[in-house]
Amino acid sequence: MRLPAGLQDLLDEAVIDEVVRQLKSGKEASVYSVRCGTEIRCAKVYKDMAQRSFKQRAQYQEGRKARGSRDARAMAKSSRYGRKEMENAWKNAEVDALYQLSAVGVRVPRPFGFFNGVLIMEMVADADGDCAPRLAELSLSSEVACNYHQFLIRQIALMLLNGLIHGDLSPFNVLIGTQGPVIIDLPQVVNAAGNNSAFAMLERDIHNITDALSRFAPELQQTNFALEMWQLFERGELKPDSVLTGFPQDVHVPVKLEEVVLAIDDARREEMFRREREKATRGLE
């Protein structure tokens, strides 16, 4: 197995002791199972911007803070230095989000360090110790689907309470471990207070999860947790123990049409990429 340079460096520096196998290769990163002492963890190796097919829309990065005014100006001008800083910001966004969300109890993979473009984090495993399946791969009873939906809505609300929106949440980036759902893949995480498209992305995230689970529990389609959650957030009333019913007050939340269209286009494009990867993976088996 040919290893990327960043992963080989971690072996040479004894940060990890063994690369067990590659788990997946996506448009943004490749993920490997690695051994650190007696523990099996994941190593996410980010691909360079030139290798990635996902276009980083300004829509996602709006509201993110640069380290300094020089970096902000360079990123705005898209100079060579600015593009490099955009690349670093893209990778660091997920790392920072994992540390922040893990600290407040959101069920995401626990991070163990970020080394030269390689993120070492918790391995989300099934009962046999293998990589946990994705939510999209499972067939569920109505009761389990409702329980997963309730749990994920609480996780999304807790993320929002801490100022973050996943921005690309779907059943393909929720793993079902032995303790239940775990949210993964957060490089496009959105600043809830500083991004004009925040509500549209929150709404899309919740729609994706609700739509997937409503295949097993059709009654979930009648709920509108996004609007209810956003109303509480805007009023400063969203709390860890806020009661969410899925039936908000009849208050209009203005959304710019062009932002909704961009969000929908992104979702369709992502779904197309996922289906292509699924076909390629099945072809290799």
Which 8-state DSSP code applies to residue 131?
Answer: B
Cα dist. 85→71, 73, 75 in Å? 7, 11, 7
Question: What's the pLDDT score for residue 1?
Answer: 76
Question: What's the pLDDT score for residue 75?
Answer: 46
Cα dist. 219→28, 145, 181, 246 in Å? 35, 11, 20, 11
Q: In whole angstroms, what is the distance from residue 136 CA to residue 56 CA? A: 25
Backbone φ and ψ for 119, nearest 5 degrees, come out as -100, 120
Answer whether 132's CB lies under 8 Å from 124's CB: yes
Q: How confident is the model at residue 257 (pLDDT cuts 50, 70, 90)?
A: low
User: Given a cut of 60, is residue 197 above it in pLDDT?
Assistant: yes
Question: What's the pLDDT score for residue 53?
Answer: 44
Average pLDDT over residues 266-280: 67
Domain ranges of the chain: 5-284
- CB-side exposure of 47: number of CA atoms within 13 Å? 14
Which of 55-64, 72-81, 236-245 shows the highest mean pLDDT?
Answer: 236-245
Q: In whole angstroms, what is the distance from residue 132 CA to residue 174 CA? A: 10
Q: How confident is the model at residue 13 (pLDDT cuts 50, 70, 90)?
A: very high
Q: Kindly report the CA angle at 139 between 134 and 142, in degrees rounded to 5?
A: 115
| Mean of the per-residue pLDDT values of the chain | 84
Q: How confident is the model at residue 116 (pLDDT cuts 50, 70, 90)?
A: confident
Q: Kindly report the CA angle at 169 between 270 and 106, in degrees rounded to 5?
A: 155
Q: How confident is the model at residue 278 (pLDDT cuts 50, 70, 90)?
A: low
Question: What's the pLDDT score for residue 28?
Answer: 80
Answer whether 151's CB lies under 8 Å from 181's CB: yes
Assigned token pair, 197: 């498209």
Question: What's the pLDDT score for residue 55?
Answer: 47
Question: What's the pLDDT score for residue 282?
Answer: 62
Answer whether 44's CB lies under 8 Å from 95's CB: no
Percent of the chain at pLDDT > 70 equals: 75
Question: What's the pLDDT score for residue 27?
Answer: 76
Assigned token pair, 62: 């709006």
Answer whether 188's CB lies under 8 Å from 168's CB: yes
pLDDT in tens, 117-169: 899 999 999 999 899 999 999 999 999 999 999 999 999 999 999 999 999 99
Question: What's the pLDDT score for residue 64?
Answer: 54
Question: What's the pLDDT score for residue 125?
Answer: 94
Average pLDDT over residues 244-268: 66
Q: What is the CATH number of domain 5-284?
A: 1.10.510
- 131 beta partners: 125
The residue ranking higher by pLDDT, 57 or 7, is 7
Residue 151 CB coordination number (10 Å): 13
